[in-house]
Amino acid sequence: MQLRPYQQAAVNAVYNHLRDRDDNPCVVIPTAGGKTPCMATICKDAVTLWQGRVLVLAHVKELLQQTADKLTAVCPEVDYGIYSAGLKRRDTDNPVIIAGIQSVYKRACELDRFDLIIVDEAHLISPDGEGMYQQFLAESKMVNPRVRIIGFTATPFRLKDGPICAPENILNTICYEVGIKELIRDGFLCPLVSKSGKDQIDFGSLHIRGGEFVADEVEALMDSESLVESVCREIVEQTADRNAVLIFSSGVRHGNHIVETLDEKYGIDCGFVTGETPPKIRDILLKQFRRGDLKYLCNVNVLTTGFDAPNIDCVAMVRPTSSPGLFYQAVGRGFRLHPSKQNCLVLDFGGNVLRHGPVDALRLKPGGNQGTGDAPAKKCPHCNALIAMGYANCPECGFEFPPPEKQNHEAQATQAPILSGQITNTRYEVTDTHYYSHLKRGASDDAPRSMRVDYMIGWRNQKSEWVCFEHSGYARQRAVAWWKQRSPDPVPATTDEALARIEGGAVAQTLAIVVRSVSGEEYDRIVDYEIGPMPEPCDQHFSNEFTDEEIPF
C-alpha cells in the first residue's frame, strides 16, 4: 500500500520524534484522513526493521477490525494477534497485538513487554491518572520502563481538560498535524456544505453538568411536537437528492419521535440505533445503510467514532452539544470519499457551528470551559473599524453590537458555514423596510447620528445595517454610495434630512438583499441589493453639494 504524501510525512515525523526526543508524540489527522495506514506502517517497520514488538490500543471493535484489515494490506508478512472480547479472540504472543482497552486494561503483565504502544483515538486518555488507559499504560511501563507511546487522533483535546498534549501528560507533543481544508483541497476528503433555516430556538435555558448539556433538558427542549415536525420537514426537503442521511437525535424518546414522524408524515423508512439495540439488529441496519438499501438512519450518540459508511452524504445534527469533540466526530462521518457523492450536506439544528465555530477551527477555552472567548479587539461589520471589545457601539459609525448574553440559535439548520473561511451568500426577499434615527448609547445630543435600516425578510426576522450620513471617512463614503443607488436627489447631510426625504418617497424600494456569512467571523454583512425603479427627482432645491472625492465610484 502506497501512503499518501501527508501520511508518509506523519510517519516520518513520528520516527524523527522518537529519535530526537525522549517523550511521547501525538499525530493529528482528520477523521477519514487515514490514520490506520500510518499505524500499520509503523507496526511493519518496528517488527521488520527493528525487531520490536507493538501494541495497538483502541476502544471499539470497529477500530480494531480496521487496524487488522490495514495490517493485512500493508504488511501481510507480519504476524499479528487480536485481544478483544467483542471479537472473541485473546491472542497474547504475536509481535503485533491489536487490543481493546476494555479487555486488557488489567492485563498488562499477561501481554508481556512492548517496545511501542500506539493509541488510536488518543484523546480518550485521561490526564488525571485515572481510567483504563492510565492504568494499563502505567503497568506497561513497569514491564518495560523504556516503552514509547504514540497517539493518533483527529481531536487533540478533551471536553473538560483541554489539550491532551502537555509535559505532565502521557502524550507530550503534537509531532505532526494536517488540516481538514488542506485534505479537502487536495482531494482526500469530501467537501462539506451547509444550508440555512429561519426558525429560531433559544438554548440559553440548558445547564451543563460534567462538561455536557444535561441530557434530560436537551431532550425536553428538542422533542416538542412542532420542532420535530419542522426538523423532519426540512430534512426531507433538503435531502431529496441525497443517498445516505445520518441523523443524530437528542435521546431515545426524541429519536423514536423523529422516526415515527418521518414514517407517518412522509412515508419514509428510517432505521434507529441506540446503545440498547441488539447487536444482530444493529449489524443488519448498518449493512443496509452502507449498501444504500436504507436511506435514513437515526442514532443516539453511538455512530460516531469507529463508524465507517463512506456513502454518507448528509449529517443532520438534531441535538445541541457543548462538546466540540462530539460535534466534530458526528460531522466527520461525512468526510469520506465515495463515488456516489460530490459533497456532504451538514444540517445543524443544534446551533453547534455557532457554539463551537467551524469544524476545522473549533474554539476551545483553557481548562475545557468550552465556548467563545473574548478577543482583545473586534471589527465593526459595517465600517470595518477595529475597536476594543468593550464597546457596545462602534465609535466610528454607531453600529450597535448585540449584547453577548443574547444568543439565539436556529431551530432549523443553521446558516453558519461548516468550514472556516467558507463564504455563504444568501438572497432574501425583502417584504418591508423600516428606517430609524440612531444615536449611540451614552453619546451627547450633538454627537453624529446614523440611520438604521431594517430589512424585513420574514415573520420576526430581519437584517439590519447602519447608514452614516453625518460621519466622515469610509462610513460617509458608504452612505453616499447607498443613497445614490436609490435616489436621483443630492445626498443628505444629516440623518434627519435623509429620513424626511425617505418619508416623501425619495428612495427606491429594496426588493431583495444578499447577506454574506463568513465562517469564523461573528457578524453577517449585506453585500448586494435588488433595487426597484428609481423615483423621479424631487423639485425641491437642496443647498448641500458634494465633491467627486466623496463618491467612491
Q: Which residue matches cell numbers 480518550?
A: 124
Residue 147 shares a structural domain with residue 213: no
For residue 335, give the C-alpha cell.
468526510
- Could you count the other beta carbons within 10 Å of the beta carbon of residue 181? 20
For residue 267, give the C-alpha cell.
412515508
Residue 344 shares a structural domain with residue 199: yes
Domain count, the chain: 3
Q: Which residue matches cell numbers 461573528?
A: 522
For residue 87, give the C-alpha cell.
471479537
Residue 171 shares a structural domain with residue 209: no
| C-alpha distance from residue 439 to each of 385, 387, 399, 427, 468 (Å) | 18, 18, 9, 29, 11
Last residue of a domain, one of 178, 201, 221: 178
521 domain residue, yes or no: yes
367 domain residue, yes or no: no
466 domain residue, yes or no: yes
Residue 66 shares a structural domain with residue 154: yes
DSSP 271: E
Contact 230, 202 (CB under 8 A): no
- Structural domain boundaries, residue 528: 421-550
310 domain residue, yes or no: yes
377 domain residue, yes or no: no
Residue 152 shares a structural domain with residue 203: no
Q: What is the DSSP string of 38-103?
A: HHHHHHHHHHHTT---EEEEESSHHHHHHHHHHHHHH-TTS-EEEEETTTTEE--SSSEEEEEHHH
> What do you get for the CA distance between the two ends of the chain, in Å?
58
Residue 157 shares a structural domain with residue 25: yes
Residue 43 shares a structural domain with residue 166: yes
CA 389/CA 410 separation, integer angstroms: 25
Last residue of a domain, one of 321, 341, 362: 362
Give me the amino acid identity at 327.
Answer: F
- Could you count the other beta carbons within 10 Å of the beta carbon of residue 414? 26
CA 174/CA 165 separation, integer angstroms: 7
CA 80/CA 61 separation, integer angstroms: 16
Q: Among 350, 316, 332, which residue's Cα sits nearest to residue 244?
A: 316
Last residue of a domain, one of 132, 152, 178: 178
What Rg, from alpha-carbon coordinates, does the chain have? 28
Residue 217 shares a structural domain with residue 357: yes
Contact 304, 330 (CB under 8 A): yes
CA 314/CA 333 separation, integer angstroms: 9
Residue 409 in 3-state DSSP? Answer: strand
Q: What is the separation of C-alpha 245 from the centre of its chain, rounded to a whole number of angstroms?
A: 17
For residue 524, give the C-alpha cell.
453577517
Residue 202 shares a structural domain with residue 171: no
Contact 344, 373 (CB under 8 A): no
CATH code of the domain covering residue 90: 3.40.50.300
CA 328/CA 355 separation, integer angstroms: 12
383 domain residue, yes or no: no
Q: What is the pLDDT along the chain (553 residues), one digit of tens a residue?
A: 789 999 999 999 999 999 999 999 999 999 999 999 999 999 999 999 999 999 999 988 888 988 898 888 888 888 999 999 888 899 999 999 999 999 999 999 889 999 999 999 999 888 776 789 999 999 999 999 999 999 999 988 876 667 889 999 999 999 999 999 899 989 999 998 886 544 567 788 899 887 789 999 999 999 999 999 999 999 999 999 999 999 999 999 999 999 999 999 999 999 999 989 998 999 999 999 999 999 999 999 888 877 889 999 999 999 999 988 889 999 999 999 999 999 999 999 998 888 888 887 776 654 444 443 333 345 566 555 545 454 556 655 666 666 554 344 445 566 666 777 677 788 889 989 999 998 877 778 888 999 999 999 876 678 899 999 998 888 888 899 999 999 999 999 999 999 999 998 999 999 999 988 776 666 788 989 999 999 998 755 444 444 444 443 3
426 domain residue, yes or no: yes
The pLDDT value given to residue 399: 64
Residue 165 shares a structural domain with residue 205: no
pTM passes above 0.85: no
Residue 173 shares a structural domain with residue 196: no
CA 518/CA 541 separation, integer angstroms: 43
Residue 145 shares a structural domain with residue 201: no
- Could you count the other beta carbons within 10 Å of the beta carbon of residue 87? 15
345 domain residue, yes or no: yes
The pLDDT value given to residue 411: 52
CA 231/CA 218 separation, integer angstroms: 15
